[in-house]
């Protein structure tokens, strides 16, 4: 265990920033987001960012390639954004766990998504334990412990110090290169973790039951009458999907610049009317089907295909940001086997 006085965080950021690109969650207007570190920038006091940390591995828009046509010849140009090593500092346990979910889709499934894998390999994640969870948090439901945040390095704030422990080789490399860190002892971390756990247990959705959300109940859930009520006032916007750390759908589009055709991908949302539109038409013609798709994917299809791992980490962003306040907790409560 290593430690550093909180007052020396600017020195730490400068030291990391001198070697690699560093991103920290900082205030931007009224909300927080992960920003490239600049001198004088401080860690936000907010629990979490509006956009999740997935942006750093799976950006909203990304160039894939370009095509130039001369006569009968088509030239294919690699347009991959060059990626240098970077440190993603201050990721919460929920977002750190979301990388594991994205990895299942983009990294370990065949074929691997080389754009994503490239960023994952270049990134070192420093995950910061929570001390003041919000009422909208429910990561514990998915087996995530906000006091043991994972990442390549786990970090804790206890009293006036920040503590660090490396979990991976990448984490070891990062910490061993930072001469300003001192040796620290586990006791203050254990004390602060115990205090946070007591709050986590009291969270309104700490005991949310996911009983019945599995492949065996797939058709019953799919045909449930509840979807109509649940989806009736959905605006069909993409807020929930775009703030979600585990939503992974994208669209591939082309853009004619006049000189060449650029092929890029951008996030897509199952809530949109043209999502997965095919020549035969839109397979999910109304908002009910689109809404159902989002929650069936996270709560039933994904775990059924991924060893029971749900496609949600309980970060609570959709609870805070949905314009009509419809969200996964309300869906679970309305459809679950245990009426809660």
Partner 1 sequence: MQELIKAKAIELLENGTVDRVLGWKAGEFFYDLTPAVFTTREEIDKDFVYSVFSGANFSKYLVKESRKEGKVAAFLKPCDTYSFNQLLKEHRILRDHVHVVGIACDGMCDIDKIRAAGAKGILGVESGGENLNVHTLYGDVTVKKADMLAERCRCCKSHKLVAFDEKLGEDGDVIENSGRFDEVAKLEAMTPDERFEFWRGELSRCIRCNACRDVCPACTCEKCVFDNDKSGIANKGAANSFEEKMYHIIRAFHVAGRCTDCGECSRVCPEHIPLHLLNRKFIKDIDELYGEYQSGADTETRPPLMDYRQDDADPSVVYARGGKRE
Q: How far is Cα 317 from Cα 308, in angstroms, rounded to an integer?
A: 22
Cβ-based nearer residue to partner 1, 25 or 184 = 25
Contact track, partner 1, 274-303, x by CB under 8 A: x--x--------------------------
Burial class (CB in 10 A: 0-12, 13-18, 19+), 259: exposed
Of 187, 296, 291, whose CA–CA distance to 238 is shortest?
A: 291
Out of 75, 80, 211, 229, point to the residue binding partner 1 (CB under 8 A).
229
Out of 236, 283, 285, 308, point to the residue binding partner 1 (CB under 8 A).
236
Strand order in the sheet with 261-267: 73-78, 61-70, 261-267, 250-256
Within 107-136, the residues that bind partner 1 by CB under 8 A are: 132-135
Contact track, partner 1, 141-180, x by CB under 8 A: ----------------------------------------
Cβ-based nearer residue to partner 1, 165 or 321 = 321
Q: Which helix (H) or strand (E) holds 118?
A: helix 114-122
Within 317-336, the residues that bind partner 1 by CB under 8 A are: 319, 321, 323-327, 329-330, 333
Cα-Cα-Cα-Cα dihedral sign, residues 185, 189, 191, 192 = positive
Cβ-based nearer residue to partner 1, 61 or 187 = 61
Binding residues for partner 1, rule CB under 8 A, total 54
Within 2-21, the residues that bind partner 1 by CB under 8 A are: none
SS3 228: helix
Judge whether 314 and 141 are in contact, CB under 8 Å. yes
Could you tell me the smallest distance in angstroms from the CB atom of residue 96 to partner 1? 21
| Torsional class of 314: left (φ above 0), alpha (ψ -120 to 50), beta (otherwise) | left
Out of 57, 267, 291, 295, point to the residue binding partner 1 (CB under 8 A).
267
Is 80 a residue that touches partner 1 (CB under 8 A)? no
* Residue 169 to residues 86, 124, 261, Cα–Cα distance (Å): 15, 10, 41
Rounded (5°) CA angle 47-53-56: 150
Within 38-57, the residues that bind partner 1 by CB under 8 A are: 47, 50-51
Is 211 a residue that touches partner 1 (CB under 8 A)? no
| Torsional class of 303: left (φ above 0), alpha (ψ -120 to 50), beta (otherwise) | alpha
36-42 — which CB contacts under 8 Å span 24+ positions? 37/13, 37/89, 39/10, 39/14, 40/10, 41/13, 42/9
Considering only 66-74, 229-237, 288-296, 307-315, which stretch makes contact with partner 1 by CB under 8 A? 229-237
Is 219 a residue that touches partner 1 (CB under 8 A)? no
**Token pair for 38:** 């600049």
Cβ-based nearer residue to partner 1, 121 or 201 = 201
Q: How far is Cα 122 from Cα 35, in angstroms, rounded to an integer?
A: 17
Q: Which residues sit opposite 23 in a β-bridge?
A: 36, 88
Could you tell me the smallest distance in angstroms from the CB atom of residue 329 to partner 1? 6
Is 273 a residue that touches partner 1 (CB under 8 A)? yes
Considering only 115-123, 143-151, 185-193, 199-207, which stretch makes contact with partner 1 by CB under 8 A? 199-207
Strands (E) located in 137-212: 153-158, 161-166, 182-183
Cβ-based nearer residue to partner 1, 19 or 325 = 325
Considering only 7-15, 81-89, 164-172, 268-276, which stretch makes contact with partner 1 by CB under 8 A? 268-276
> Where does this chain bind partner 1 (CB under 8 A)?
28-31, 33, 47, 50-51, 60-61, 132-135, 199, 202-205, 229, 232-233, 235-239, 241-243, 251, 253, 255, 262, 264-269, 272-274, 277, 319, 321, 323-327, 329-330, 333
């Amino acid at each position: 265990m290593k430690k550093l006085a909180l007052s020396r965080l600017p020195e730490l950021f400068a030291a990391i920033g001198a070697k690699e690109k560093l991103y920290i969650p900082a205030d931007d207007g009224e909300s927080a987001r992960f920003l490239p570190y600049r001198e004088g920038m401080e860690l936000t006091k907010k629990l979490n960012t509006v956009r999740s940390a997935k942006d750093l591995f799976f950006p909203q828009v990304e160039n894939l390639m370009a095509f130039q046509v001369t006569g009968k010849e088509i030239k294919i140009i690699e347009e991959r954004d060059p990626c240098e090593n970077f440190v993603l500092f201050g990721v919460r346990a929920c977002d750190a766990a979301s990388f594991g979910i994205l990895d299942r889709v983009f990294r370990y499934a065949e074929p691997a998504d080389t754009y994503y894998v490239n960023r994952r390999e270049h990134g070192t994640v420093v995950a910061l334990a929570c001390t003041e969870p919000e009422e909208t948090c429910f990561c514990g439901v998915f087996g995530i412990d906000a006091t043991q945040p994972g990442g390549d390095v786990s970090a804790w704030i206890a009293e006036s110090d920040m503590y660090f422990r490396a979990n991976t080789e990448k984490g070891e490399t990062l910490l061993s290169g930072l001469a300003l860190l001192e040796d620290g002892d586990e006791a203050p971390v254990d004390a602060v973790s115990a205090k946070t756990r007591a709050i986590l247990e009291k969270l309104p959705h700490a005991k949310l039951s996911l009983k019945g959300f599995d492949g065996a109940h797939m058709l019953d859930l799919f045909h449930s009458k509840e979807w109509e009520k649940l989806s009736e006032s959905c605006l069909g916007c993409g807020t929930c999907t775009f703030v979600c750390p585990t939503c992974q759908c994208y669209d591939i589009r082309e853009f004619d610049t006049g000189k060449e055709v650029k092929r890029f991908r951008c996030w897509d949302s199952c809530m949109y009317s043209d999502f997965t539109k095919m020549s035969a038409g839109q397979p999910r013609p109304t908002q009910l089907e689109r809404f159902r798709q989002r929650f069936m994917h996270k709560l039933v299809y994904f775990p059924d295909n991924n060893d029971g791992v749900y496609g949600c980490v309980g970060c609570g962003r959709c609870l805070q940001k949905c314009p009509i306040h419809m969200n996964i907790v309300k869906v679970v409560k309305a459809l679950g086997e245990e009426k809660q």
